[in-house]
Amino acid sequence: MSTFAEIQAMLTSKFDVKPELIQPDAKLVDLGLDSLSIAELIFDIGEKYDIEIPEDDLEFQTSLKDAVALVDKLRAAKAA
């Protein structure tokens, strides 16, 4: 499964985010999540891929597209 699809699954299963809202250009803030939910999501992503996401790199205004790119970059760096 692609990173985008995995994050999409986390959003729908843990937070019941409506699938139609989960678009690459959607910002995290547009998904109907509050700040605590976003913090939890970032934590879960970090746990899932065993990567550490720097605090300022992923937040409210980050688009899903950019979030996926960041995660892939961190995963690749870890594998190297």
Partner 1 sequence: MRRRVFITGIGLVSPHGTQPEAVFERLCAGQSAIRKLRSGTEDLGADCLLAPSEFSIEGVIPKTQSFAMDRVAQMAVVAAHHALHRAGIVREEEAPVPSEAGVYFGCGLGGSQAIQDAYRTYFERRSRRPKPTTVPLIMANAPAAHISMRYKLQGPSLTYSIACASSAIAIGEAFRAVRDGYVDSVLAGGAESMMNDGTLAAWEMLGVLAKEHPEGAAASSRPFAVDRSGFVLGEGAAALMLESEESMRTRGAAPVAELVGFGCASDAHNLTQPATGGQAQAMRKALADAHLAPERIGYINAHATATPAGDNVEIDAIKQAFGAHARALSVSSTKSMHGHLVGAAGALECAITALALRHRRVPPTAFLRNQDPACDLDCVPCVARDVPDLEFALSNSFAFGGTNATLILRRA
Interface residue list for partner 1 (CB under 8 A): 14-16, 32-34, 36-37, 39-40, 43
Q: CB 34 → partner 1: shortest distance, Å?
A: 8
N- to C-terminal Cα separation, the chain = 21
Sign of CA pseudo-dihedral 9, 50, 64, 40: positive
10 Å Cβ neighbour count for 21?
13
- In the bound state with partner 1, the residue whose beta carbon lies nearer, of 2 and 47, is 47
- In the bound state with partner 1, the residue whose beta carbon lies nearer, of 26 and 33, is 33
- In the bound state with partner 1, the residue whose beta carbon lies nearer, of 18 and 73, is 18
